Amino acid sequence: MEVKEITVVGAGVMGHGIAEVLALSGYRVNLLDSFEEALKKGEEQIRKSMERLVKSGKLDGEKMRASLGNMSFGSDMESMVSSADLVIEAVPEKLDLKTKVFSDLDKFCRKGTILASNTSNIRITDIARATSRPDKVVGLHFFNPPVLMNLVEVIKSRDTSDDTFNTALEIVKRVGKTPVRVLKDTAGFVVNRISAPEGLMFCLVLDNRMAKPEEVDAFAKGQGLPMGPYELMDYVGIDTVVHSLEYYAKELSPDYGKCRIYGEMVEKGLLGAKTGKGFYDWSSGKAAMPKADPTDKVQLMDVLALEVNEAVKVLEEGISTPEEVETGYRLGMNRPFGPITVAKGLTNAEIKRKLEELQKKFNVDVFAPAQSIKEGKLKEIITKGNVAKEEAKSAKTQPVEETVSGELVKIEKVDEKVRRILIDNTRNNLISSQVISELEAAIKELWNDREVNVIIVTGKGERFSAGAQLSEFIAGGLDFTESSRRGERVFRMLSEIPKITIAEIKGYALGGGFELALGCDIRVSTDEAQIGFPELKRGLLPGWGGSQRLSKLVGMSRALYYILTTEYMTGREANEIGLVSRLFPKESVDEETIRFASDLARRVSPPAAALAKRLINKGSEISMDNGLEMESIAMGLLYGTDDLKEGISAFLEKRDPEFKGK
């Protein structure tokens, strides 16, 4: 529906801020509040805010006058909402108050009017029950201050119609904000839901006298955060925090009722900036924070693990998508990254271990690992959201949560530390432009996955790859050149990725398939596999790196022989000349390769392996002096790593090392 006139109910900080944003975007806006003093103050704040924008050059004076001219202020609900197309409620965060407002709005608004709530925590479904039009009720959660913050959560209740939801999304876009879709109604929605566990933790830190507020805030600011947790709670309002925790205790977990100190502060009237004093003195307009050394009782990993854990729960419940969870948290918390980015940089085991530690330390089940983390499926859930689980229910073969797939190239999780890139294109696993694109995407996906130490590359079934798909149309010589360059770059990524890559050769590894195998660090094969370059018989030459890599691996004489004669070698012959490192029986090559990769993934330190392969590959291209210099620098980089300490300890204690990749 077309929205021209909007009424905002509540002239407080959020209400008058939302009204200003709407007016500046060209809407006719009515600001309604039953308290004349609040209404007058809201109007004054809007004018002052616009004047500051004009002074800073962000707003034209004429537009300011036009925007103010489009605004009306009043205290009579019936007259202020009777012609509105949309009404946004922005009253205090109390369910009984909000339901009373919505019940009244339902009486006075036209039947087609959309009713929205700016609630930051309360389920929209609960609010909508007070009306006879639940399909016309939606959540529009602006963040404070609305004029500056770019995020708006758009919440779909159990009954919200698609038309209502889409209209709300379009309004958010029109006012220049970024909408994040909340597709399933839940307490706290996305941003506040994800930050709720850490809010509880910071309360328990004070309850247990582990540290002082200023010590924790000093630690937080030392990590690059614009505000510490207690300064932020003061800014938002301690009463708001308490109301949220009480609501979460009822809706999410009774654990949220374990917090004591926030409630005690509310009883004493210490609400933060709004009363001039909370954790800090705000009489000067900003927090007067005592000087303090950063505490060592709270770690950054504590906060990050709790955020990742709750984000995983949000994804498991189908509340939003991984992309929108990341965007929402980044914008809502004013950070350069969100929990999905954090999760990609940590291993499932690291996060699980930290969460179990926090659960035991604070005796809080909310801190326990989410189901996907318990099952070791963190990477799957942050990539696919709950879609992977839904698809897995109807899958007849390997569960989708175990495989991240392109159409022709799949990533399979075959071990906690090992992934297999599987080519599945015709029975010969031919390499096409699509395979190259999907292979590139697969390598990029695994590049920064710290959970993965070893990657196996192979073909589905009994063949590695019989080469390029020559039936593809290529327009001319320049396009053919670019096709060659693209394949070279993608195959080279296998030698540059900071993981050990293993080519599992079976059946045929011909032409482009052979070149793919040459791009890997290690090659294993079956005895009878057929390996070679037939290109010269087709009027071509090895054009995806084969003419350069083969000579470096087996010498110029052998490379010339196999390329110029187009003769094939068997897997056993390749092993005899050092091109293949291990031979496995044909009937068990898949299992043997996985066993080899799993052993390797646990036996060697990931940082050491990444630096070693880089030194070997780059060292062949430079002088001995430069190579030795690079080697000494690499040794310095490894000195002091946790893996080095673990490796030496394991050697002295005569046990197998447990490397963490640090």
Q: Is 153 a catalytic residue?
A: yes
| DSSP codes of every residue in 534-599 | -GGGGT---TTTHHHHHHHHH-HHHHHHHHHH---EEHHHHHHTTS--EE--GGGHHHHHHHHHHH
Provide the total of helices (H) and of strands (E) in the chain, helices listed first. Answer: 29, 18
**Interior CA angle at 137 toward 132 and 139, to 5°?**
155
d(CA 13, CA 33): 12
Helix residue ranges, H only, 161-273: 162-174, 191-207, 213-222, 229-236, 238-251, 261-267
Q: Is 120 a catalytic residue?
A: yes
49, 192, 465, 598: which one is catalytic? 192
Residue found under tokens 């996907």: 372
Query: Is the distance from CB of 194 to CB of 325 less than 8 angstroms?
Result: yes
20, 89, 153, 310: which one is catalytic? 153
Q: How many CA atoms lie within 13 A of 492 on its CB side?
A: 13
Q: Which of 408, 419, 421 is nearest to 517 (CA)?
A: 421
Q: With 0-12 CB in 10 A as exposed, 13-18 as middle and 19+ as buried, what is 292?
A: middle
Cis status of the peptide bond prior to 322, with omega within 30 of 0: no
117, 120, 428, 465: which one is catalytic? 120
**Beta-ladder partners of 457:** 421, 503
Q: Which of 259, 262, 346 is nearest to 311 (CA)?
A: 346
CA-CA distances (angstroms) from residue 291 to 213, 216, 287, 332, 429?
Answer: 11, 11, 12, 28, 65
Q: How many CA atoms lie within 13 A of 154 on its CB side?
A: 21
Cβ within 8 Å of residue 46, ≥6 positions away: 16, 19, 20, 23, 31, 68, 71
The pair of structure tokens assigned to 598 is 């799993």
d(CA 532, CA 565): 10
Q: Which of 560, 552, 602, 600 is nearest to 579 (CA)?
A: 552
- The amino acid occupying position 227 is M
CB atoms within 10 A of CB 251: 15
20, 93, 141, 309: which one is catalytic? 141
Catalytic residues: 120, 141, 153, 192
